[in-house]
Chain A
Amino acid sequence: MNAHSESIALMHKYLDGDLNKAEEQQLKGHLEGCEDCQAHLRDLKRTIALLQSSEHIEAPPSFAEKVMNNLPKEKKRMKYKR
């Protein structure tokens, strides 16, 4: 593994909250002198931000009603109990 791929692996650990102190120092040290890796990390963070900005989608109308209409018939033992 060269310094760049090692630093990229650390970036991913960073994004997952898995960096220990020593690794954090190592990543910082590398980023200070490497513009390519800075850009790489920036792009990764932007990608995540774009994903998180995705709009939330709602189920179509009468979705729940359709599910309920398609369930198999209620178990007989319940009807007897009532």
Chain B
Amino acid sequence: MDQIIREKIKQVKKGDQAAFSDVVEFYQNKIYQHCYRMLGNAHEAEDMAQEAFIRAYVNIDSFDDGRKFSTWLYRIATNLTIDRIRKRKPDFFLDAEIKGTEGLDMYSQLASTDISPSDKVEGIELQRYIHQEISELPPKYRSIIILRYIEEFSLQEISEILDIPLGTVKTRIHRGREALRKRLRHV
């Protein structure tokens, strides 16, 4: 697959726009999911994922063919989502609640009543709860936890995607795991 993508990128660089649609088809679910996990909601996720592909296209000449395209694309998407989180208005979460994500109700319910191990939170509810807990991590831990455990990148790849030293990735993944351990302990 890497080889096919490499070829497509070459064509895009030569100015063949149609070749880019195969690139989008191939990465759309991954990049959308990444944005969704980073931002916590579908609306912003779609906007940012769209923007990530458009930026990749516009800046394709600055992509170094010797590197992995996926790493470059994930970096664009991650930077966009982190910028978006920084620019959010303080009332954003209130809006999100009004629009009816049951995840938030779910969260307050769980926070107030300790769930014993015998009470299973199943299926969709559990998924929502985990999603909610991920979205509440500080973004610098969130990105690493998502890349490692949902998208299954190695720590070395994460260091390349985020352009931070491997040691920093390790420190942050430790803190991210500890934060989530505390949050998910009662599930």
Cβ B50 vs Cβ A63 within 8 A: yes
- Asked if B73 lies at the interface with its beta carbon under 8 angstroms from chain A, I say no
Cβ A51 vs Cβ B145 within 8 A: yes
Chain A, Cβ-Cβ closest to B17: A74
Given known pairs A50-B184, A51-B180, A64-B24, the reply for A56 and B54 (CB within 8 Å) is no
Given known pairs A47-B177, A59-B32, the reply for A54 and B49 (CB within 8 Å) is no
* A2-19 residues at the B interface, CB under 8 angstroms: 8-9, 12, 15-16, 18
Q: Which of A43, A47, A55, A75 has the most CB of B within 10 A?
A: A47
- Asked if B36 lies at the interface with its beta carbon under 8 angstroms from chain A, I say yes
Given known pairs A12-B174, A15-B177, A57-B29, the reply for A67 and B24 (CB within 8 Å) is yes
Given known pairs A12-B174, A47-B181, the reply for A63 and B28 (CB within 8 Å) is yes
Among B28, B58, B177, point to the contact of A44 (Cβ < 8 A).
B177
Of the four ranges (under 10, 10 to 19, 20 to 34, 35 or more), the interface on chain B belongs to 35 or more
Among A46, A52, A60, A74, point to the contact of B149 (Cβ < 8 A).
A52
- Asked if B68 lies at the interface with its beta carbon under 8 angstroms from chain A, I say no
Which residues of B approach A to under 8 Å, CB–CB? 14-17, 20-21, 24-25, 28-29, 31-33, 36-37, 42, 46, 49-50, 53-54, 57-58, 126-127, 130-131, 134, 145, 149-150, 155, 170, 173-174, 177-178, 180-181, 184-185, 187
Inter-chain CB contacts under 8 Å: number: 102
Cβ B21 vs Cβ A68 within 8 A: yes
The docked-state distance in angstroms from the alpha carbon of A66 to that of B25 is 11
Q: Which residues of A contact B15 (CB under 8 A)?
A: 74-75, 77-78, 81
Chain B, Cβ-Cβ closest to A68: B21
The docked-state distance in angstroms from the alpha carbon of A43 to that of B67 is 37
Cβ A63 vs Cβ B127 within 8 A: no
Among B50, B126, B131, B180, point to the contact of A67 (Cβ < 8 A).
B50
Q: Which residues of B contact A1 (CB under 8 A)?
A: none
Q: Which residues of A contact B173 (CB under 8 A)?
A: 12, 16
